[in-house]
Amino acid sequence: MEIRVEQGDITQQDSDLIIVNLFEGVTSPGGATGAVDAALDGAISQVIADGGCRGKANEMMLIHTLGKLPAPRVLVAGMGKQEEFDVDKVRALAANAARYARRQRCERVATITHGAGIAGLDSHDCAQAIAEGTLMGLYTFNRHKTPNDDDVEVQELIVTEYDAARIDALERGVARGTVLGEAANFARDLANEPGNVVTPTELAARAQTMAGAAGLECEVFDRPWMEEQSMGSLLSVANGSAQPPKFIVLRYKGGGSSHLALVGKGITFDTGGISIKPAAGMQEMKGDMSGGAAVIAAMRAIATLKPEIDVTAVVPATENMPGGRATKPGDVVTAMNGKSIEVINTDAEGRLILADGLSYVQSAIDGGPTAMVDVATLTGAISIALGDVAMGAMTNDAQLYGRLRAAASAAGEKVWELPMFEEYKEQIKSDVADMKNVGGRNAGSITAAFFLKEFVDDVPWVHIDMAGVDFYEKVKGVSVKGASGIPVRTLVHLAFMLANEPLAG
């Protein structure tokens, strides 16, 4: 769809629907909502007085204009309490309103800039949030379904602003928000595809196609190269699958003094291997490459928005299958950095492929990265700890985590730090190797992070465990059913923060 900014009067927009807003408790609307109310001879005020519209968050009220405006319908979107309203709520409002417009079979929609009026929020940030919310809120994954001729999609959103002095900021905000929203949806597309479609080979092909369009450098390596690199940890996972593993490397050269390394888990389907998972719900394991998808999609946005920083991303990609050559519990494998691993549970495979990904990216960057983030659907334990609300993060550097937390806040994605007390490391000690790949039920997410830390040198590093937020069953705000697209926007914001160029107005 197209999102654009237009200077003018919202009451004069000739679209299928115009969207205005209302704070909770307001009885006499002002600003653009007041102008629409006046043009409708007080219809909005009358509905408020009758109790039909209270302005509560997520409340939607539709009014037919009956020829009094060029647009046949007006949607009044509730903003909730003014003191609680922020940019993240702008995203949610835009997403909810866009879905409402689709249900009303509207193709051309005009909206005012939610939050930039009486709420006093920055115009650029509000426009960016509107673009993100609209694109992410309207996302559907139906490419494997027979098209329904009755379906109508929103084709155009016109952000309408009366004040000409705000137009430039709004246009910049919409442009950035469009890039971020489309990147999140690109990650969703990858993670929603079934495992027989997005194999390691296909994931690599889509990364290459994206890189070619975005102007990124891309290399894809095969098994013989992995063997030359002594990636025994990654190959131990790949051994059970008939699908060949791939090692994807993406490079963005933006200059500056910082070099960010991103490592994403790319398990395109996870049966658990010999330590096989229960059948119930296993179909969701097509999304076990959501971390890799997020890293690839973030590179797409970074290449478009061009922060002054170098970024290298790697995605080790394979299936985890219980084939005749599969790694067995009790086997010992050796990672690229020479450390040996006793494989206690083959379903703890994500950390095995990340071990070689982390080792490689540090050795492949001249002078090493200045910061490193890995992203993975790593443990079920993180869902027990944080539910489906926040990503878990573990780190060896408080300053880098602080920037990541700020980046997540700017993106409207939540993250929470778990401790890295040295005592937890005891749980991954092995009697027969340098370490084992699981540390038991207690503190499972933290012991997984300690395993990864064995493959991190002295680089500032954050591990993101996104297993609780990768898929959603319900529609709410920018979240839709299926893959979430988290933490694409957080990673992009982090790149800009490390380049000292915050993605704000």
Known catalytic residues are 277, 351
Q: Identify the DSSP state of 23.
A: -
Q: CB under 8 Å to 72, separation ≥6 — which residues? A: 16, 17, 64, 65
Q: Determine contact, residues 3/157, Cβ cutoff 8 Å.
A: yes
Separation between Cα atoms, residue 274 and residue 138, nearest integer Å: 40
DSSP bridge partners of 252: 311
Cis previous bond, 502, omega within 30? no
Residue with tokens 């417009």: 101
Structure tokens at 38: 């006046």
Sequence-ordered strand ranges (E) for 301-383: 310-320, 332-334, 340-342, 371-376
Strands 108-111 and 17-22: parallel
Q: Collapsing DSSP states into helix, strand and coil, what is residue 460?
A: coil
How far is residue 120's CA from residue 385's CA, in Å, rounded to a whole number? Answer: 36
User: Could you give the CA distance from residue 444 to residue 505 in angstroms, rounded to a whole number?
Assistant: 40
What's the start-to-end Cα distance of the chain, in Å? 24
Cα separation, 42 vs 493, in Å, equals 43
Residues in a beta bridge with 75: 19, 62
